Amino acid sequence: MLKDGEKGVIRQKGKDIETYAVAPHIPCGVVTPAKLRKLADAAEKYGVSAMKITSAARIALIGIREDQVDDIWRDLGMHAGHAVGLCVRSIKVCPGTSFCRLGQQDSLKMGMKLDEIYHGMVLPSKMKMGVSGCKVQCAENCIKDISLYGTQEGWTLQIGGNGSAKPRLADILAEDLSDEEAVKLVERVIQYYKVNSKRERMGRMIERIGLDTVRSGLKIN
Ligand code: SF4
């Protein structure tokens, strides 16, 4: 039996037989026709029970047997998304200025950059990120551990949001950031979180030590 995350699988609720899902990494939910064809071909070839578009904008192939796992990954030729474990799970990104008339900043470009740096990074607890092109926040920034949304003046960085059984809305940490300033501040927040979190999510850390402590630790007025 495979563990969650081993060989990129997500364990399913078994009835008579243990089955798994695989959910390849699709950075920012942007996918090519060729990749979609590969996913559809693999789904047919291995007789999956369902294809599910996940909340992290991945396409999960569900109902795979253990003896099919290596073959399906070989056929897909894609990396596994980090859907489980204590790490950066996903970077949810709205269409932004690329495809939305309301966009104020290029969320796809920023999301791809964050995805490249952080997706799968091991941390004290799980972390979700979001990037939205404007304050409407279609990437659900308010319930992400770290997020950015665009305004005419730049990026607003929020921290400490989460869904879960005990939801928490994010706090604004900084506003009017340039692309470069936003990327650098996200890096500093991650470093601070690595040192100060007691295996808790960002929002719980803020509740324990206070937002003012976090701001002063990051030297933000
Ligand atoms: S957050 Fe703004 S830019 Fe992004 S999809 Fe929503 S309305 Fe468009």
- Convert 44-83 to b/e letters by CB count within 10 Å (16 or more is b): eebebeeeeebebbbbbbbbbeeebbeebbeebebebbbb
Q: Per residue in 118-130, pLDDT tens?
A: 999 999 999 999 9
**C-alpha of residue 174 to centroid of ligand 1, in Å:** 20
DSSP secondary structure, 113-158, as one string: HHHHHHTT-B-SS-EEEEEESSTT-TT-GGGSSEEEEEETTEEEEE
User: What are φ and ψ of residue 84, in 5° steps?
Assistant: -135, 165
Ligand 1 pocket, 138 CB below 6 A? yes
pTM of the model: 0.93
Q: Outline which parts of the chain fall under CATH 3.30.413.10.
A: 88-217
Average pLDDT score, the chain: 94
- Its CATH class, for the domain covering 6-76, is alpha beta
d(CA 24, CA 207): 34
Q: Per residue in 147-177, pLDDT tens?
A: 999 999 999 999 999 998 999 999 999 999 9
For the residues 210-214, what does the mean pLDDT come to? 97
For the residues 22-42, what does the mean pLDDT come to? 95
Inter-residue contact 62 to 48 (CB < 8 Å):
yes
Ligand 1 pocket, 136 CB below 6 A? yes
Q: Outline which parts of the chain fall under CATH 3.30.70.3340.
A: 6-76
Taking the domain 88-217, which CATH number applies?
3.30.413.10
Q: So what's the pLDDT on residue 121?
A: 95
**C-alpha of residue 97 to centroid of ligand 1, in Å:** 8
Ligand 1 pocket, 110 CB below 6 A? no
Q: Per residue in 59-109, pLDDT tens?
A: 999 999 999 999 999 999 999 888 888 999 989 999 999 999 999 999 999
Q: So what's the pLDDT on residue 119?
A: 94
Please name the residue whose Cα sits nearest to atom 6 of ligand 1.
138
Please name the residue whose Cα sits nearest to atom 3 of ligand 1.
103
Ligand 1 pocket, 151 CB below 6 A? no
Ligand 1 pocket, 156 CB below 6 A? no
Ligand 1 pocket, 137 CB below 6 A? yes
Q: So what's the pLDDT on residue 162?
A: 96
Pairing assessment for the beta strands 59-64 and 88-93 based on DSSP bridges: unpaired
Q: So what's the pLDDT on residue 70?
A: 95
